[in-house]
Structure 1
Amino acid sequence: MTVNVMTSKDVTKKLIQKEELYILDVRNESDFNDWKIEGVSFEHLNVPYFELLDGVDEIIEKIPTNKDVLVVCAKEGSSVMVAEMLSDAGLNVSYLKGGMKAWSEHLEPVKVGDLKDGGEIYQFVRIGKGCLSYLVVSNGEAAVIDATRMTDIFLNFAERLGAKITHVFDTHLHADHISGGRTIAEKAGATYWLPSKDATEVMFDYEPLEEGKVITIGNTMIDISALYSPGHTIGSTSFVVDKKFLLSGDILFIDSIGRPDLAGKAEDWVGDLRNTLYNRYRELSDELIVLPAHFMMIDELNDDGSVSEKLRSLFKNNHGLTIEDEVEFRKLVTENLPPQPNAYQEIRETNMGKINPDLDNQREMEIGPNRCAVR
């Protein structure tokens, strides 16, 4: 039997549509436990590749014949070999093209809303890493927010829409992924905006993003308004777009809140985090649709694969927004911090322009989940 190939886009489609998929992951156990492809209807079997070098006889009976079967490894090679062995044994299987490396880099664009006079806002879902980026479009102009290092998808997407990217924003200095913001700005001839309080050590020119700054896109004047919202970092800045959407960066997620420790300031910044969530955000309209920069769990995705929720609903249902006692809030946040992102210090230095790792090193630095939330 032939071995089939499944792309990250194919897997994403199955994930969004909640289709069944049986995944044989042949990476080592620690890598599998740290990070894997998750879906509501996905099943997993982890058997390290080195245990299958002598054949697949011992796992044949575990592999279902009535479901799509996908073999996954780190970069593709091992999964191809295992898939071929299973195929030779009579099973119909696929392998993941590019392995988990490709899964980490896949971006799925989803339209999340209409703006006035034909404007649109798109969310780019980095499904394997839980990162979310945005493109705001209006009358031939576009702005990009919190771009990943896979810059071509943003540039090409804007070009297909007939839009020129004129502004690029980062809500904060990222520690979990390498920003593509500066590169997009250079390639598009756009203005690159970064919160000045996060940029004290950067090695490049930027426009300082300050409280109350309003940038307009297109001749219909769609407003992107900056709201200083510290707590994840000292400079974290949110955006209110067209008085309809709140781009909350790494401060507020659908089922969690941002962590305040990735620059070593948990005890200092937890107070800022609480003030942003319990005071600054409560001054906003609770009809705003929250568009965060991350998601933690697959069940945070909407039916169309997007990640969004009204602020009113989050005030009611997000546990991080319902802890009235400030001492309890401080304790829960500082004592429930997840492991820090892989290579987060090196990622910060890359985003500052202090180091310039090659592509392979960048990929290695980003491997794994984002870990920017407290839940």
Structure 2
Amino acid sequence: MSQSITPKELARRVVNLEETLVLDVRNTDDFDDWKIEGDSVEVINEPYVNLLDGIDPVAEKLNKDQEIIVVCAKGRSSKMVAKMMEEEGFTNVQDLDGGMKAWSEHLEPVKIADLNYGGSLYQFVRLGKGCLSYMVVSENEATVIDANRMTNIYERFAEEKGVTIKHTIDTHLHADHISGGRQLANHTGGTYHLPPKDAREVKFDYASLEEGSDLTVGNTTVNVHPIYSPGHTIGSTSLIIDDQYFLTGDILFVKSIGRPDLAGKAEDWVGDLRDTLYSRYKELSDDLIVLPAHYSSIDEMSEKGSVAARLGDLYRRNEGLQVEDEQVFRKMVTENLPPQPNEHDNIRQINMGKMNPEEEKQREMEIGPNRCAVHG
């Protein structure tokens, strides 16, 4: 009987650059939109409907002794295909447990650094969606930044570290994924922070995340300095942690910059975006390590599985920071943009507390890649 591989096991393979062959049996449109990626990952797409009468369409492309991971949308079709392949003499076939839906929800924690005055900074990589969230741990306290909907992962991690989550922060009102910040704060008795300019329509209480209002995590004083940095949203606020690590939210990525159009305000916000990237950030130290809230492709990931870059290096190589002509910049970030994230307006409504669909509906709304960058 064929075996299953969990999203966690597959994630470790991707991060560790282990050679991995994936047979994706979803329909071609879904595959083209979003797939498992990695420097060591080879992916073959053959829609399940083509395999109903047998596996001949893929048999010639595959070696019967090589390890093959079969993937579908929810984990059912892949099990059937894996069984059929076994019956045809394939000896090392696994199916991805829960399919792409489960892959979309897995978070892989990666340690970024030990901090100067004690404590550590961790990045949680959501490989199936390109989302990045963070946890600052110091003494017996923790702060979580840009939490995803799957809050139990952060709670388990905090429990393992012996710390209590005292603060949760969203750098802006998200449109590509459902925030877990407020729910996580409710579960742990912590305080949820949101930039007030992004919170004008929210239906819940929050603490204001504003420039000049530092947060302290733990007894060893790891300061979190908010910096107002509008452009992706009108309230977007970046964070500097330990005077070294620069959490830029969806304003600046390793290979692109944030898009200003997800709230229908592209023309209004493009000037703010340029001012943030070409003035506010320019005044900061080149040695800050940029830690964004998303990445667009697996090649932005380091060998240890993290996504980070020195700010000064980005000013030399990130194309979104090289456009001197303001009109050319305006055209770049308002025209020919990638498709907007799936259900982005409804996701904004959920993050404002105006909607609260059932869990399964929330999972469906988030499926697919993030599209927060000007160029995906």
Q: Which interval holds the TM-score relative to the shorter structure? A: over 0.9
Please give the root-mean-square deviation of Cα atoms over the aligned residues, in Å: 1.0
SS at match of 1:373: coil
Contact 2:50 2:57 survives alignment (8 Å): no
- Give the match for residue 195 of structure 1: 195
Read off the aligned partner of 1:230 and give its amino acid letter.
Answer: P
- Give the match for residue 38 of structure 1: 37
Read off the aligned partner of 1:5 and give its amino acid letter.
Answer: S
Contact 1:172 1:236 survives alignment (8 Å): yes
SS at match of 1:118: coil
Deviations 1:73-129 (A, max 9, x none): 011010000000001101121100110011000000000011123210000000110
- Give the match for residue 171 of structure 2: 171
> How far apart, in 2, do the equivalents of 1:125 and 1:43 lie?
21
SS at match of 1:116: coil
Task: Map 1:141-156 to 2 at 5 A.
Answer: 141-156=141-156
Give the superposition deviation at 1:21: 1.7
Runs (4 or more) in structure 1 with deviation over 6 Å come to: none
Contact 1:20 1:68 survives alignment (8 Å): no
> How far apart, in 1, do the equivalents of 2:288 and 2:40 lie?
31
Contact 1:20 1:67 survives alignment (8 Å): no
Count matched residues: 374
SS at match of 2:117: helix
- Give the match for residue 247 of structure 1: 247
> How far apart, in 1, do the equivalents of 2:152 and 2:57 lie?
44
- Give the match for residue 52 of structure 1: 51
Greater Cα offset, 41-50 or 236-245: 41-50
Identity %: 61
TM-score, reference length from structure 2? 0.98
SS at match of 1:32: helix
SS at match of 2:44: strand
Deviations 1:318-347 (A, max 9, x none): 111111111111111112311000001110
Q: Unmatched 5+ residue regions in structure 2?
A: none
Contact 2:111 2:120 survives alignment (8 Å): yes
Task: Map 1:337-352 to 2 at 5 A.
Answer: 337-352=337-352
Deviations 1:201-221 (A, max 9, x none): 111000111222101111121
- Give the match for residue 304 of structure 2: 304
Read off the aligned partner of 1:137 and give its amino acid letter.
Answer: V
TM-score, reference length from structure 1? 0.98
Read off the aligned partner of 1:305 and give its amino acid letter.
Answer: G
Give the superposition deviation at 1:66: 5.4
Task: Map 1:1-375 to 2 at 5 A.
Answer: 2-65=1-64, 67-91=66-90, 92-375=92-375
Read off the aligned partner of 1:77 and give its amino acid letter.
Answer: R
Contact 1:168 1:181 survives alignment (8 Å): yes
> How far apart, in 1, do the equivalents of 2:354 and 2:16 lie?
42
Q: Unmatched 5+ residue regions in structure 1?
A: none
